[in-house]
Structure 1
Amino acid sequence: MTTGLLISAIRSGAGKTTVTLGLLAALARRGIRLRAAKAGPDYIDPAFHAAATGAPCVNLDSWTMPPPLLQTLMARATDNTDLVVVEGVMGLFDGVPADAARDGSSASIAARFRLPVILVLDVTAQSQSAAAVVRGFAAHRTDVHVAGVVLNRVGSERHQKLITDAIAVLNIPVVGAVPRDTAFALPERHLGLVQADEHGDLAKRITALADMAETHLDLDAILALAAPIETSSLNATATALPPPGQRIALASDAAFSFIYPHLIAGWRDAGAEIIRFSPLADQAPPADCDSCWLPGGYPELHAGALAAATTFQEGLVHFAQTRPVHGECGGYMVLGKGLEDADGQRHAMTGLLSHTTSFQKRKLHLGYREARLLVDSVIGSTGMIVRGHEFHYASLTDIGHDEPLVELTNADGHSLPERGGRRGHVTGTFFHAIAAA
């Protein structure tokens, strides 16, 4: 039977990704059949998980994904798998104001699948007080079981002993203690970790994390804490979104890399083919495709190259005359008239929509989104409700004059001014669609 556990923390930045990657890589060395999952809407961590396990990673998000879809994704993760390890998002109980089962928190995933929680605790500048934090987290929800603790950024053997002795009275085992060492850290940029495929030394980094885990984590104790995942009741038929076409041209390179694995898997399950092309290599969408999808990524870091990619731009314009083209976040920026980079230099984009964006005038846009579609589109039919997520620093400097694509609210139900855009066969939004509600 497949077992599972969830790695979480009391806040973001506590080191749960480092611990998760080290654990996955070390267990993969043992020949354990592993699958990793990421709680919440995250593109970057899953690529590292896949590198550590050698198997695809999936997102599990209780706010954007209806329960049948969550059940489907977990059922598939357990297929031919010994252990499913879920990395949490933010702090264990952090989510949005909603029913506890659908608040987007790591705790909601742990409770739904009865996953024991390994709590990663950054013990910088504290000792015995760490036990009070563990006590509070362990008692906060009766349906969430904190089964073990990993201490991170431990200063010395004495520091470790003070904390371990204090936690011992709670009957919650300390199953690891990782020292302060910047060598374990992964480089970051404005949207999170530098992407996995941008590391020429990724295999070396994964090896170092596996060595760290073998040295500083009690792997046998952690395996013993994993609990069986009951798969007999899991639905394996739900899908997130209909495929946008039979043959989908998918932009895929360093500028266009943010697309959820469950979307691609769902499209393939529905019989669609995914044909990848690279705008940065000045490739146009293949002419034998019947739709084109421009996902998010980092076009703001490659604006000059995209502006000079005339084959891509002209090919996309030609494609859009007869077939659907949709852009999300970074893809939406490229569909506009212009993109201003961090230095304030304006680069001409495809002009298929009339807005302009700027990365120089940075403003954080972050949070869940619920969209009601105003017209039929590749995302869905008129009136359909789609949930998703938005995370970017670019801003609209000119909203343009295109027709709106959606009515948008945040997770609190408050209306948002952005409406996306549509013109002819072209549509775009700043938010990433995750699933039909």
Structure 2
Amino acid sequence: MSARGLLIAAPRSGSGKTTITLGLQRALARRGLTVRGLKCGPDYIDPAFHAAATGAPSANLDSYAMSDRLLGRIAAEAARATDMVIAEGSMGLFDAVPGPEGHTGASADIAARTGWPVVLVIDVSGQAQSAAAVALGCKAYDPRIRIAGVILNKVASARHERLVRQGMERIGLSVLGALPREASLILPERHLGLVQAGETADLHARLDALADAVAAAVDLDAIAAAAGDTVPMAAADGDTPPLPAPGRRIAIARDAAFSFVYPHVEAGWRAVGAELVPFSPLADEAPPEDCDACWLPGGYPELHAGTIAAASGFLGGLRSFAETRPVHGECGGYMVLGRSLIDTDGVAHAMAGLLSVETSFAKRKMNLGYRRAILEADGPLGPAGSALTGHEFHYASIAAQGEDPPFAVVTDPHGSAPAPAGSRRRLVTGSFFHAIAAAEAR
């Protein structure tokens, strides 16, 4: 039997949907329910918090980068043997990029495809009845979805709450809860979002505090009753991974500097028999010799550049590994494969030198958005000409591209001209592009 589900969304970013989602997940799990979390869009950090809050794996649903079949497989796996799915939207509920109907990257696409009603989190600071006008717009904007109710966030007083509730009554939307303005509910952040779950001090105490606050302010029985049945979708062939497995035994860097790997990608590799063998560059560990491919994920190497530069065992072992086996780096991993990384203080640190690129974090500039990449040569992610969907999200920049040919040619959904991206040299490849799935014709 498939679980019922809800999508927690908001009219805009910064409304508090992550903290409320985590509080709901934890509070419902403490009631004895089996809860699964999912995250809309390209986000590495929030699924790890969902997993900590629920005690069960989380994953991503991305209507732009994933095919209907892959979306169906991930949603079905999450809803299997689960009491409730509490999914979290990204940005604003309808924020999207140009694309075919249902494949725009909007959280609303996911609500429409899964059938899960939306609970709207509204930051009501600085407004009262006007919040209902915003909610009414969300209710009417997209006929594919249903708004089950609202949770008010950052309520200033009992009088403020009464006024906001009057507005919601006027438009016929139930108020499922109202949280006061409370700074302690804010989770710590850094330049790419929340500080990662594994690095958050007293994580479970924080999650319990969120659950306590949500349970005190939100009608959990009404939340459970608002959930809707999961609409079956055509699932992808279980033997086809979202991305080709780069090897049978994949050495994968995993520590505070290298952590951005999508759960569905790892699950897909394991499903076809690949084994993932973690190692820690920050602990000066080299890729294990009994592996036949190495994967350096994104993360925060710019915050650990000195430690990485001094990790002679890691760097030497990586260079030796790359002489005979493929090595691929995404975003932060790409930076470490290059000649040097300039940190926030302007100090250049020597990296692996397996690619000629030089990167810098000294002058931060955000690069964000979906990408479609066409591979320029045969490599661990497929043969030349293969198309991949994914995204970029980084503040580092290219200080010097170097002489290596590009890894891929990329475009964005907004009609950008094809542009070379990344680098390749012999068995080593890398780019700022985070791959989500092999592209399918639509």
TM-score normalised over the length of structure 2: 0.97
Q: Which moved more, 1:235-244 or 1:284-293?
A: 235-244
Map of 2:327 onto structure 1? 325
1: CA distance, partners of 2:158 / 2:237? 48
Of 376, 379, 398, the residue aligned with 1:396 is 398
1: CA distance, partners of 2:304 / 2:422? 22
2: CA distance, partners of 1:162 / 1:274? 54
Contact kept, 8 Å, 2:113 with 2:231, in 1: the verdict is: no
Aligned pairs for 1:27-38 within 5 A: 27-38=28-39
Give SS of 2:298's match.
Answer: coil
Aligned pairs for 1:37-76 within 5 A: 37-76=38-77
Map of 1:179 onto structure 2? 180
Q: Which moved more, 1:130-139 or 1:411-420?
A: 411-420
Map of 2:102 onto structure 1? 101
Contact kept, 8 Å, 2:48 with 2:197, in 1: the verdict is: yes
Of 292, 311, 314, the residue aligned with 1:312 is 314
2: CA distance, partners of 1:416 / 1:329? 19
Give SS of 2:154's match.
Answer: strand
Map of 1:188 onto structure 2? 189
Which stretches in structure 1 are left out of the alignment for 5+ residues? none
The 1:232/1:120 distance shift into structure 2, 3 A limit, reads: closer
Instruction: Give the C-alpha shift of residue 362 in structure 1.
Output: 1.3
Give SS of 2:163's match.
Answer: helix
Aligned pairs for 1:94-243 within 5 A: 94-231=95-232, 233-235=234-236, 237=238, 238-243=240-245
Q: Which moved more, 1:77-86 or 1:321-330?
A: 77-86
The 1:189/1:154 distance shift into structure 2, 3 A limit, reads: same
Contact kept, 8 Å, 2:111 with 2:117, in 1: the verdict is: yes
Letter aligned with residue 34 of structure 2: R
2: CA distance, partners of 1:247 / 1:24? 34
Instruction: Give the C-alpha shift of residue 376 in structure 1.
Output: 1.0
Contact kept, 8 Å, 1:73 with 1:236, in 2: the verdict is: no
| Identity across the alignment (%) | 57
Of 253, 256, 263, the residue aligned with 1:254 is 256
Instruction: Give the C-alpha shift of residue 144 in structure 1.
Output: 1.2
1: CA distance, partners of 2:68 / 2:112? 13
Map of 2:362 onto structure 1? 360
Aligned residues: 437
Give SS of 1:166's match.
Answer: helix
Of 381, 384, 392, the residue aligned with 2:383 is 381
Letter aligned with residue 245 of structure 1: G
Instruction: Give the C-alpha shift of residue 234 in structure 1.
Output: 4.2
Q: Does 1:371 align with 2:368?
A: no
Instruction: Give the C-alpha shift of residue 100 in structure 1.
Output: 3.0
Letter aligned with residue 57 of structure 1: S
Letter aligned with residue 196 of structure 2: Q
Aligned pairs for 1:17-32 within 5 A: 17-32=18-33
1: CA distance, partners of 2:75 / 2:310? 43
| Superimposed CA distance per residue, residues 100-120 of structure 1 (whole angstroms, 9 cap, x where no aligned partner) | 300001000001111100000
Instruction: Give the C-alpha shift of residue 404 in structure 1.
Output: 1.3
2: CA distance, partners of 1:273 / 1:141? 43
Map of 1:279 onto structure 2? 281
Instruction: Give the C-alpha shift of residue 416 in structure 1.
Output: 5.2
| Superimposed CA distance per residue, residues 346-369 of structure 1 (whole angstroms, 9 cap, x where no aligned partner) | 000000000100000211110001
Letter aligned with residue 365 of structure 2: K
| Superimposed CA distance per residue, residues 46-85 of structure 1 (whole angstroms, 9 cap, x where no aligned partner) | 1110000001100000001111100011111111111111
Map of 1:341 onto structure 2? 343
| Superimposed CA distance per residue, residues 189-226 of structure 1 (whole angstroms, 9 cap, x where no aligned partner) | 10000111112300110110110111011100011110
The 1:358/1:73 distance shift into structure 2, 3 A limit, reads: same
Give SS of 2:392's match.
Answer: strand
Contact kept, 8 Å, 2:68 with 2:235, in 1: the verdict is: no
Instruction: Give the C-alpha shift of residue 169 in structure 1.
Output: 2.2
Map of 2:270 onto structure 1? 268
Give SS of 1:428's match.
Answer: strand
Of 409, 413, 426, the residue aligned with 1:407 is 409
Give SS of 1:257's match.
Answer: strand
Contact kept, 8 Å, 2:70 with 2:235, in 1: the verdict is: no
Letter aligned with residue 426 of structure 1: V
Give SS of 2:134's match.
Answer: helix
What CA RMSD, in Å, does the superposition of the two structures yield over aligned residues? 1.0
| Superimposed CA distance per residue, residues 34-54 of structure 1 (whole angstroms, 9 cap, x where no aligned partner) | 110000000011111000000
Contact kept, 8 Å, 2:69 with 2:234, in 1: the verdict is: no
Letter aligned with residue 134 of structure 1: A
2: CA distance, partners of 1:414 / 1:37? 30
1: CA distance, partners of 2:143 / 2:233? 24
